[in-house]
Amino acid sequence: MKNTALTDVHIREGAKMVPFAGYNMPVQYAGINAEHETVRKAVGVFDVSHMGEFILKGDKALDLIQQVTSNDASKLYDGKVQYSCLPNENGGIVDDLLVYRIDEKTYMLVVNASNIEKDWNWISKFNIYGVDMKDISDRTSLLAIQGPKATEALQSLTDIDLGSMEYYTFKKGKFAGVENVLVSATGYTGAGGFEIYFDNEHAEEIWNAVFKAGEPYGIKPIGLGARDTLRLEMGFCLYGNDIDDTTSPLEAGLGWITKFSKPFTNSEALQQQKQQGINKKLVGFEMTERGIPRHDYEIVDAEGNSIGRVTSGTQSPSLQKAIGLGYIDQSLAKEGSEVYIKIRDNKVKAKVVKLPFIK
């Protein structure tokens, strides 16, 4: 099992550590609900250094990215980030990812930890363009500093004007005395904030500086447990749960990152699927009777007929009610539709709601 550059710090902080995507990761410190509330109301720090980072460089870097990703990366400009996915050849998704345009010939792709090797091999397979590819995952640390007080908590550490940074942009500069730190504003919590990319050797130095600067704002370390409840309240997909090699981006509600203005892997088949219509759709639902939906629970109709499966579910700390995501028959995917979740052989009532759960 791999460690991040901050594993020893998490253990010293009393984190409960668990194996996740081949890494030894903190799942919680003070407790998921308390940490969730810290991010929604103040500011929290996630060590997400397990994520993968690839640098693609060369005259044809954009051509390669355009071929393997579903979104239109030609729309990017220096300092802009784009959410996208890697479609496979069978209508499913290899991974979802972020594309950072450093300059006209240089891009950074940020991929999920569990898919680093898989994604690298997939992209390499299409690299007929002579693009220089570097996997910098093992030497790169990444902190996600999230919450409404993130800007105030971090501004004293950098000359970058954090308050003026637009959503899905990034800047490079000096941060906590360290040169060449990449600061982005993408977020996976819906609470605002920043992601800080830097070399492993600076990990403890930057961690300590962030906590010192953030102390007046109630900053706390946050584990992956609260990261999951926060992203689920926003209706954000988690690879391996809500999207995978068998789910189409159109079924997953990711038509907005599937651009048919250019050819890409399996684009013709996906375009045909769009024209013919999908049979199942990823929807959000909230429980109207007592019960917590869990991954892979069956979704049924009033007569008990199977209509789908739960992909993610939890008791929402913000809403104080159980919520979930799941694929169901398109005919029942309309907002307000009544469905039932099979929990220990009981049909427990739920209704389809519009995403995100937290407005």
Across 163-202, b (16+ Cβ under 10 Å) vs e yields eebeebbbbeeebbebeebbbbbbbbbbbbbbbbbbbeeb
- d(C-alpha 68, C-alpha 127), whole Å: 9
Q: Tell which residue, 22, 133, 114, has the closest CA to residue 68.
A: 133
φ, ψ of residue 175 in degrees (nearest 5): -140, 125
Cα within 13 Å of Cα(213), Cβ side: 23
Angle between helices 32-41 and 224-233 (to 10 degrees): 60
Neighbouring-strand partners of residue 173: 181
Q: Which two tokens stand for residue 231?
A: 């992203």
Contact 55, 101 (CB under 8 A): no
Q: Please state, in angstroms and rounded to a whole number, the distance separating the CA atoms of residues 51 and 95.
A: 12
CA atoms of 335 and 190, how far apart (whole Å): 22
Cα(153)–Cα(89) distance, integer angstroms: 45
The closest alpha carbon to 87, from 128, 119, 61, belongs to: 119
Binding residues for substrate: 195
Residues annotated in a binding site = 195
Residue for token digits 């308390």? 34
